[in-house]
Structure 1
Amino acid sequence: MQIPVGVSARHVHLSQEHLTALFGAGARLHPKKPLSQPGQFASEEKVDVRGPRGTIQNVRVLGPVRPETQLEISKTDALKLGLQPPVRESGRLEQTPGITVIGPQGQVTLTQGVIVAKRHVHFSPEDARRYGVRDGQSLTLRTTGERGLIFENVTARVSPKYKLDFHLDTDEANAAGLQSGDEAEMIELEGLKAQPMPHFHGNEIIRDDSSPQHEKTTESVG
């Protein structure tokens, strides 16, 4: 049961309000390249983010715009910024640290919105049926190679909007020697050996736009 890998570099999702504040009246995102998930894209726009200890420049903005602004970084990035963000699913921003986001036309200071994204696998309902998984289920994946690892506590996310992809951040990918386009093997479902479930009809929940959609790239600027 092989699943393609998508390595997610640091990036930010902006609300329309904050896009305007950072890039000026009438601002919109200009697609640079499509991402692994349908309708999602890396934009031409970049911002700087400033924390208590330091600044990271040229953080990629991903589109389309979201209801809330959210910065997704690695633990290594967090150390540079002087933050201690929790590991969270995208959109779960309560009790997360804030950050100052700096654009060419202005800046905004967030009171919350910084997370380390929880590793997860995107499934379409068809893929969920084929792999025998349900939305929110905990998975175990194994990678091979010189630095092969077993990743536990990988969340399954199911939606008609999704395409099959295992998303993890650059810290996790570097530890396992992974690049986007590599593959991981699903070996367990909550402690049980994974196997097809032909009578399972899939989880047809359509997740909202705050669900994670990551840039499938290893470039350091996100």
Structure 2
Amino acid sequence: MEQQAIQSIVNEVVSRLKGISVKTLSIPMAVSARHCHLSKSDLEALFGEGYELTKKADLSQPGQFAANETITIAGPRGSLEKVRILGPARNMTQVEVSQTDSVKLGLKPPLRESGDIKGSAPITLVGPKGSLYKKEGLIIAQAHIHMTPEDADHFTVENGEYVKVEVDGERPIILGKVLIRVSPRYKLEMHVDTDEANAGFITGKTIGRLIKYEEASL
């Protein structure tokens, strides 16, 4: 393709991007504190046979809730108490912490997408009726954006794609390698952990702006 034609295409793309309002690129954000998801068998091991989680509050993602129940998680260096359980019960147990939390625990959890726990860090779980040592299951969750297929079409992104998110405010930052997760079950929202939130003064009222990697290079 001739250089003139390439430049014409680039100019057209830039013009279109400039014509997109910030509002159309806006992503509501939420701060995800340390928490755990338990399998049914592990829930019963920690709370007793036949135990069912009780709802404290609904979460933004449909069908998900914060339970009244909490556990203690422990590592070789220390422990963290009152770690909230999120429901409903899943087919596997996963504990999500921040990098700061991992230092206190004395463990080195990998940065992973939720659900990818193979080869992750071990963790001890302590409940009112028992304790468990899990050989894997402790992760630092990859910053991600939940969206519906319609949202993905709007933002012209695909499931599994990585984007950047710009956050304005008192301490402006750009978060890179933010994972796109698409499902008709989701509601549009970006999740960051407490370390990321503290770095950018991010709260539950913060709005980010999605930037595709190819757009950033124009």
- Provide the residue aligned with 2:94 in structure 1: 70
- Provide the residue aligned with 2:189 in structure 1: 165
Point out 4+ residue stretches in structure 1 off by more than 6 angstroms.
none
Percent same amino acid among aligned pairs? Answer: 47
- Provide the residue aligned with 1:190 in structure 2: 213
Q: Does 1:122 align with 2:146?
A: yes
Give the count of matched residue pairs.
193
Distance 1:39 1:129 in 2: 23
| 1:1-222 equivalences in 2 (<5 Å) | 1-187=25-211, 189-192=212-215
Residues 194-213 of structure 1: per-residue CA shift (max 9 Å, x gap): 9xxxxxxxxxxxxxxxxxxx
**Which has the higher Rg, Structure 1 or Structure 2?**
2
Distance 1:97 1:131 in 2: 34
Residues 177-200 of structure 1: per-residue CA shift (max 9 Å, x gap): 01012100112x232269xxxxxx
| Structure 2 SS opposite 1:111 | strand
- Provide the residue aligned with 1:212 in structure 2: none
Q: Which runs of 5 or more structure 2 residues have no equivalent in the other structure?
A: 1-24
Are the aligned partners of 1:137 and 1:190 in contact in 2 as well (CA < 8 Å)? no
Supply the AA of the counterpart residue of 1:107: S
Distance 1:149 1:193 in 2: 14
| Structure 1 SS opposite 2:108 | coil
| Structure 1 SS opposite 2:165 | strand
The structure, 1 or 2, with the larger RCO (C-alpha pairs under 8 Å, 6+ apart) is 1
Residues 35-80 of structure 1: per-residue CA shift (max 9 Å, x gap): 1100000000000001010010000000011111000000000000
Supply the AA of the counterpart residue of 2:126: I
- Provide the residue aligned with 1:205 in structure 2: none
Residues 124-164 of structure 1: per-residue CA shift (max 9 Å, x gap): 01111111111011111100111110011101000001000
- Of Structure 1 and Structure 2, the greater helix share is in 2
Supply the AA of the counterpart residue of 1:52: P
Cα RMSD over matched residues?
Answer: 1.1
Distance 2:64 2:216 in 1: 33
- Provide the residue aligned with 1:198 in structure 2: none
Distance 2:213 2:28 in 1: 20
| Structure 1 SS opposite 2:195 | helix
| Structure 1 SS opposite 2:83 | strand
Give the TM-score normalised by the residue count of structure 1.
0.85
Q: Which runs of 5 or more structure 1 residues have no equivalent in the other structure?
A: 195-222
Give the TM-score normalised by the residue count of structure 2.
0.87
Distance 2:112 2:197 in 1: 18
Distance 2:133 2:210 in 1: 40
